[in-house]
């Protein structure tokens, strides 16, 4: 095992997608923790202190928008890089994401290689 490239918190209510992302990032050398929805993410984030969070937009309880907003609002989590993953790639969604300070944006179905590239770049940034 080489050095850990960074910690990633993968947030998605779909177990298949959650596992797909986690396995791919694990293989790349990231330390991965998973959460089932936005609230689960917020409950875990201070314990995990990830470098990057991949956040599904459409989730029950607390969606990706609200979760990203809360992460940005808290000083302890405002620096964490956030990748929003959504099935909706409209420009207004992207504008909304930029307005919240989201770092990157991926559209489902996404290419795992593209996801890894994005997470790798964000994890490497100070």
Contact in structure between 61 and 39 (CB atoms under 8 Å):
yes
Tens-place pLDDT, residues 71-85: 999 999 999 999 999
Contact in structure between 6 and 31 (CB atoms under 8 Å):
yes
Fold for the domain defined by 7-124? Rossmann fold (3.40.50)
Domains of the chain by residue range? 7-124
Return the pLDDT at 1.
Answer: 45
What backbone torsions phi and psi does residue 57 show, to the nearest 5 degrees? -80, -50
Tens-place pLDDT, residues 14-51: 999 999 999 999 999 999 999 999 999 999 999 999 99
Measure the N-to-C terminal CA separation of the chain; round to a whole number of Å. Answer: 23
- With H, G, I as helix, E, B as strand and everything else as coil, classify residue 69: helix
Cα(82)–Cα(8) distance, rounded to whole angstroms?
A: 10
- Taking 70 as the threshold, does the pLDDT of residue 4 lie above it? yes
Q: How far is CA 1 from the centre of its chain?
A: 24
């Amino acid at each position: 095992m080489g050095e850990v490239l960074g910690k990633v918190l993968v947030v998605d209510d779909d177990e298949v997608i959650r596992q797909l992302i986690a396995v791919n990032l694990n293989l790349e050398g990231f330390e991965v923790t998973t959460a089932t929805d936005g609230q689960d993410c917020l409950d875990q984030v201070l314990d995990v202190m990830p470098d990057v969070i991949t956040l599904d937009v459409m989730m029950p309880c607390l969606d990706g928008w609200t979760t990203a907003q809360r992460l940005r609002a808290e000083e302890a989590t405002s620096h964490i890089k956030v990748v929003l993953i959504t099935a909706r790639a409209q420009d207004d969604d992207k504008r909304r994401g930029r307005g919240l300070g989201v770092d990157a944006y991926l559209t489902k179905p996404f290419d795992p290689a593209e996801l890894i590239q994005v997470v790798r770049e964000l994890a490497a940034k100070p």
